[in-house]
Amino acid sequence: MINAVEVKNITKRFPGVTANDRINLEIKRGEIHAIVGENGAGKSTLMKILSGLYQPDEGEIYIFGKKAVISSPVKAIEMKIGMVHQHFMLIPRFTVLENIILGSEIRAGISIDNKKAKKIVEDLCSMYNFSINLDSRVENISIGQAQRVEILKVLFRGADILVLDEPTAVLAPQEVKELFLNLRRLKQEGKTIVFISHKLDEVLDIADRITVLRRGRVVGSAVPGEITKEQLARMMVGKPVLIDLKKRETDPGEVLLSVKNLRVKDPGGKSVLNGISFEVKGGEIFGIAGIEGNGQKELAEAIIGLVNIDSGSIKIRNIDIKGLSVNQIRKMKVAYIPEDRHKNGLVLPMKVWENEIMGFQRDDKFYKKPLLKLKSAQDFTRSKIREYSISVSSINQAVEDLSGGNQQKVILARELSENPDVIIASQPTRGLDIGATEFVHEQLLKKRDEGKAILLISADLEEVLALSDRVGVMYNGSIIAEFKPGEITLEDVGIYMLGGPEKKVSGE
Amino acid sequence: MHLAELLASSFRMAIPILLTALGAVYSERSGVVNIGLEGMMIVGSFWGALGSYFYGPYVGFLVAMLAGIVLAIIHAIASVTFKVDQIVSGVALNILAYGSSRFMSQAIFKMATTTPHVAGLVKINIPGADSVPYLKPLLTGISPIIIITILLVPISEFIINRTVFGLRLRAVGENPLAADTLGVNVFRMKYAGVLISGMLAGLAGAYLAMEHTGMYVEGMTQGKGYIALAAMIFGNWTPSGALMASLLFGFAESLSFRVVENSFIPYQFIKMIPYMLTLIVLAGFVRKSTPPAADGVPYERNAG
């Protein structure tokens, strides 16, 4: 049996890093082959080589036994390789059908033969058991459905090899199940699937074979059923990892953050928070789970004072913060770790020390009218670099040249430096590797044990459940369920993430 | 004042705005803001007059469209290929258009601000118009350009919404990266959008010079390029929307002429009507309309 994909000694270098180092890989026709590895292990680079976005520096690729030079995404699809990107490449204002046919339209003269195109896509849908309304606009469909549109896009182009890059990152558990049903169906029909992930449970569930990458190299391969999750994790990280966090029992103290009936409207007047209430006590992590875009971002921004409150109240240590500026709120010992560190957490082209004092630049510590106290700012930065073991070449390095983990450490060091009582942590480990993620988790737990109140907002359900003392699930601007981790099953959390039990969750 | 006459005049005033607004729809749906439309109208009016002066009106219109396209090519090279800020590039073109027309006018006609009288196209009379005297102003003396322009509205709707070209043009204006990964040539689509806008703006300028005034006069576009942009926004980036908005602006302009004739309100205030209307419309309606998602953002193919 010939291999669908065979990669021989592929090497790809970027300035300062070898992203793929002599990678060898065989993917059999008709199998679901998972490629796992930490962030930065080289998974995405390998996939971009397969999909024609990057050219390898060395090595050869064989597609269905034939040597292939994949010089562009268009070339890749000619060779029957279809890429389903992690970040959807869809046009929200177009209909599902328009998104699918774009670039490979069925023509009738100069116009598009919509009828014929629709027929072809409908046939695909029924063949692979996809149910989706082709005439809805993509902006109105769910994330799970958007992903199906992406898969249909490559099927419409005749792909036999589907490459899915972290396809479950954005999905709720039920949607993951559905995706897996679709994938198994595709496999039955003879398609080959390359499944990139770092979620080990899912990989063990869906894959026929697993290849593990670490630091640009293939470090092993495995077959589910012959390997445990722990073994796989060890292979991926290179050392035994703690999957369960050590969490001390604490005695929650007084309420430090209280939100009551909070309502917020977006600039267009649409209601994004519909009367949210919760309290966070000292020594407690309150986790917010939920699919992104259900008001989490607005909630964090309302507490730190970035968006205006429509009605309701937010109290820090029983003081209403309505009408206070961000600066005034921060002065009340509130720290904020924003979800997008590049946009809101750092000024990327500026130096490490400049970023480290940002927001505190008018404190007496760093400021003597009208000048900054350079020396004390830089000494401060040096001490933080030591304390948080941030790896930088100098404090004058631009923060954009640091790795994601080190960038997040710069933010943590800054935000935690004033010993805050309330910490808003929004997606604090997004895009970080396991080591850096662990570090962030440790810091948050440490602050919890010190008696601080922490609001943890994360799309990573496992993270929320592992860290939090109590969890609220946000859906459509409301907290529709609150519970303690362990009280309900992962399944049930998933149901709430999709709107609660009263909503039918099926492949509509 | 005759109502039919007022309507006919509104139509005539609306045409250059509509033509240019249609062009703007093509450009902006491909994701390129074209504030240089004013300049493209200016060169259209001058080169149209020049062409007509030497070779007659047909050549005049062709030359005008070419002049608009030449300016559009500069805009496309600057803003699409070299990713210069689209507003900066457009404003520079407006200055270039103004200066070059004045220079050429001086060089060729020895007059900086006007050309001699030039011929327009033969006007069309709808047969039987004499039998309905009331509608006579609407049905007689129609410039063929008016008919072409009106036809261009449904044609553009068809092109943008039903053809392969239109789908790709819109895709590029909404999400160029997505279009690129599907093998759509992003740069070619953007060039096409900008060039079509230049051609139509050039045609609109020539219409002003040859069909309205019978000569080129410096400053005769009077900011109609900008008003056209407003009309396109007001019309929510669609050809038929642009038609409605242009008719409104045309009506305001022709009203401002009529009111002058029989009113004691200071003339300058009346003259403001179309511009005030533009401001009010933009301030009041822009929030409700939705531009293409990637409008005004240069597309950079980023390997990472």
Instruction: Evaluate the CA torsion angle B228, B230, B231, B233 in order and state its sign.
Output: positive
Nearest-CB residue to A103 (from B163, B165, B184): B184
CA–CA dist A46, A491 (Å, integer): 33
pLDDT digits (tens, 9 = 90+) for A410-467: 999 999 998 999 999 999 988 787 778 889 999 999 999 999 999 999 988 888 988 9
Shortest CA gap A198–chain B (Å): 20
State the pLDDT at residue B286.
62
User: Which residues of chain A are within 8 Å of residue B168 when distances are taken between CB atoms?
Assistant: 102-103
CA angle B78, B79, B82 (to 5 degrees): 60
Mean pLDDT of A209-227: 90
pLDDT of A240 > 60? The answer is no
Substitution target from A14, A70, A88, A93 for chain B, most B beta carbons within 10 A? A93
B167 located within any domain: yes
Asked if pLDDT for residue A502 goes beyond 70, the answer is no
B163 lies in some domain = yes
- Which backbone phi and psi does A278 adopt, to 5 degrees? -165, 165
Structure tokens at A398: 């631009």
Is B242 within a domain?
Answer: no
Express as a percent the part of chain A with pLDDT over 70: 96
Contact A154, A82 (CB under 8 A): yes
Residues of B with CB below 8 A from A111's CB?
A: 158, 162-164
Which residues of chain B neighbour A98 with C-beta distances below 8 Å?
Answer: 167
Q: What is the pLDDT along chain B (304 residues), one digit of tens a residue?
A: 578 888 888 999 999 999 999 999 999 999 999 999 999 999 999 999 999 999 999 999 999 999 999 999 999 999 999 999 999 999 999 999 999 999 999 999 999 889 899 988 888 888 877 777 777 777 778 899 999 999 999 999 999 999 999 999 999 999 998 998 888 999 999 999 999 999 999 999 999 999 988 999 999 998 999 999 999 998 999 999 999 999 999 998 888 877 766 667 777 787 788 888 878 877 776 666 788 988 888 888 754 3
Work out the angle between the directed axes of helices A143-156 and A173-188 (0-180°, nearest 10): 20
Provide the number of CB pairs (under 8 Å) joining chain A to chain B: 64
Q: Is the pLDDT of residue A401 over 80?
A: yes
Whether A93 and B163 lie within 8 Å, measured CB to CB = no
Q: Is B143 exposed, middle or buried (0-12, 13-18, 19+ CB in 10 A)?
A: buried
Contact A94 B171 (CB under 8 A): yes
Domains and CATH numbers, chain A: 3-237 (3.40.50.300), 245-333+420-508 (3.40.50.300), 342-418 (no CATH)
Instruction: Kindly determine whether residue A112 and residue B167, on different chains, have CB atoms separated by under 8 Å.
Output: yes
Report residue A116 as tokens: 């014929």
CB contact under 8 A, A91 and B174: yes
Rounded Cα gap, residues B97 and B69, in angstroms: 12
Q: What is the DSSP string of A278-305?
A: EEEETTEEEEEE--TTSSHHHHHHHHHT
Judge whether B201 lies within some domain.
Answer: yes
Strands A311-316, A319-320: pairing is antiparallel
CA angle A3, A81, A105 (to 5 degrees): 150
Chain B residues with CB-CB distance to A268 below 8 A: 287
Instruction: Determine the pLDDT at residue A506.
Output: 38
For B131-171, the pLDDT digits (tens) are: 777 777 777 788 999 999 999 999 999 999 999 999 999 99
Short-list B142, B170, B144, B147, CA closest to B157: B170
Torsion, Cα A347 A349 A354 A356, to 10 degrees, reads 60
Residues of B with CB under 8 A from a CB of A: 158, 162-165, 167-168, 170-171, 174-175, 177-184, 287, 290, 293, 303
Domain contains B257: no
Substitution target in B182, B295, B299, B301 with the highest count of A β-carbons within 10 Å is B182
Assigned domain for B233 exists: no
CA A313/CA A427 separation, integer angstroms: 24
Output the pLDDT for position A507.
35
Shortest Cα distance, chain B CAs vs residue A87, angstroms: 10
Range of the domain at B191: 18-123+137-225
Give the rounded percent of residues in chain B with a pLDDT score beyond 90.
64
Interacting residues of B16 by C-beta distance below 8 A, sequence separation 6+:
B41, B204, B205, B207, B208, B212, B221, B224, B228
Residues pairing with A273 in the sheet: A264
Q: Residue A313 pLDDT more than 80?
A: yes
Which bin fits A260, alpha (ψ -120 to 50), beta or left (φ > 0)? beta
Cα–Cα distances in angstroms (integers) from residue A354 to residues A304, A330, B271, in the given order: 21, 18, 54
Q: Per the structure, how many domains does chain B have?
A: 1
**Average pLDDT of the residues of chain A:** 89
Other Cβ atoms within 10 Å of A273 Cβ, number: 28
For A59-86, the pLDDT digits (tens) are 999 999 999 999 888 889 889 999 898 7
Q: Do the Cβ atoms of A54 and B303 come within 8 Å?
A: yes
pLDDT digits (tens, 9 = 90+) for B81-102: 999 999 999 999 999 999 999 9
Beta-strand runs (E) in A366-477 = 367-368, 371-372, 422-426, 453-457, 470-475
CA neighbor of B186 nearest in space, from B304, B27, B299, B26 = B299
Taking the complete model, does pTM exceed 0.80, yes or no?
Answer: no
Task: Answer yes or no: do B178 and A54 touch at CB < 8 A.
Answer: no
Amino acid letter at A395? Answer: I
Domain membership flag for residue B215? yes
Does the pLDDT value for residue A220 go beyond 60?
yes
CA distances from B177 to A86, A182, A465, B84, B192 (A): 14, 27, 36, 19, 18
Task: Check: CB of residue B129 under 8 Å from CB of residue B143.
Answer: no
pLDDT on residue B252: 87
* A490 vs A479: CA distance, rounded Å: 17
ipTM: 0.87
Residues in chain B with CB shorter than 8 Å from the CB of A90 are 175, 178
The alpha carbon of residue B164 is apart from the nearest alpha carbon of chain A, in Å, by 6
Which residue matches tokens 């065989």?
A26
| Residue B164 resides in a domain | yes
Q: Is A504 helix (H, G, I), strand (E, B) or coil?
A: coil
Share of chain A above pLDDT 90, in %: 58
